[in-house]
């Protein structure tokens, strides 16, 4: 938890802060979020059935393109593009994307990390290089929502969440959502950023 600059948990009773902080810490650790969040503030008011979480992210991560994970060059045969992956993990996603774009028959995989795409045009190299394989921001958004849901009390199923740039807001309750709670969360976020 040392990497988080600011980590505040507030509950109605002071004695319940420590155990709830531990729950949030465990969730952050489980989802490996500690390195991605710089500041976080959590407020729980059980008597109002209210859970608020605001957080700021470390930085907005860039898109991951094929050129970041592979060496792309013109194939030996004219009209083909050779992709040599440096890691295997993004392979399934890349294959799906290539199949969608060029068709299954045009993608050949002679080896685990080597792909030959028949594009019919050798200039296609640059296009292939720019294919976006992963959008960390998008996956981070999903993980952030998951993190907030895990950290919130069970049964608080009426939720509001937003991720604007590096600012994350989450409000959960089991009753009707009140606009002033979202407002309160926004104010908390401003305060968190201002500190």
Partner 1 sequence: MAAVLEPYIYEGGIHKHSLLVELLEDLGGYIVQKTPAATEVTLNMLIPKRDVHLVEELAKKLLGKLTKAPLTGVEIAVVTPTLAYHHLPHSACDVAEHFRRDGANTNMIGLARGMGRRVALSSDYERKLINEHDVAVFTFGTFSDCIINKKTKLFEGVRIPIIVTGGPDLNTEDVPGADAYVGNIGRISHRMRKGQEIESLENMNRIVGEIVDQMRENLSRDPVSVLPARVMKEIQEQIPDINYVLTPAPLTLQLDGIRVKLPFDKYHEAVENIELDESTVLSDVANITPSKMKDYILVKIKRKSDTGFVI
d(C-alpha 95, C-alpha 115), whole Å:
9
85/147 with CB nearer partner 1: 147
Q: Which of residues 148-167 bind partner 1 (CB under 8 A)?
A: 150, 153-157
d(C-alpha 170, C-alpha 47), whole Å:
18
Q: Which of residues 40-79 bind partner 1 (CB under 8 A)?
A: 44, 46-47, 49
44/72 with CB nearer partner 1: 44
| 14 belongs to the binding site for partner 1 (CB under 8 A) | no
Q: Using CA of residue 8, residue 155, residue 186, residue 160, what is the dihedral sign?
A: positive
Kindly state the helix (H) or strand (E) to which residue 87 belongs, with its residue range: none
Which residue in the set 16, 68, 167, 184 belongs to the binding site for partner 1 (CB under 8 A)? 16
3-state secondary structure of 74: strand
The radius of gyration of the chain's CA atoms, rounded to the nearest angstrom, is 22
Q: Which residues form the interface with partner 1 (CB under 8 A)?
A: 11-13, 15-16, 19-20, 22-23, 26-27, 30, 44, 46-47, 49, 150, 153-157, 174-175
């Amino acid at each position: 938890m040392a990497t988080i600059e600011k980590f505040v948990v507030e509950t109605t009773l002071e004695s319940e802060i420590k155990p709830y902080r531990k729950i949030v810490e465990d969730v952050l650790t489980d989802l490996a979020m500690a390195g991605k969040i710089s500041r976080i503030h959590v407020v729980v008011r059980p008597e109002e059935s209210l859970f608020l979480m605001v957080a700021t992210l470390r930085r907005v991560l860039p898109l991951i393109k094929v050129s970041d994970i592979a060496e792309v060059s013109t194939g030996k045969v004219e009209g083909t593009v050779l992709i040599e992956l440096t890691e295997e993990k993004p392979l399934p996603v890349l294959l799906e994307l290539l199949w969608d774009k060029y068709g299954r028959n045009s993608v050949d995989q002679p080896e685990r990390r080597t792909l030959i795409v028949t594009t019919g045009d050798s200039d296609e190299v640059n296009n292939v290089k720019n294919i976006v394989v992963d959008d960390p921001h998008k996956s981070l958004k999903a993980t952030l929502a998951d993190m907030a849901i895990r950290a919130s009390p069970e049964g608080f199923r009426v939720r509001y969440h937003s991720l604007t740039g590096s600012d994350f807001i989450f409000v959960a309750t089991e009753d009707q959502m009140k606009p002033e709670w979202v407002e309160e969360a926004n104010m908390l976020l401003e305060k968190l950023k201002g500190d």
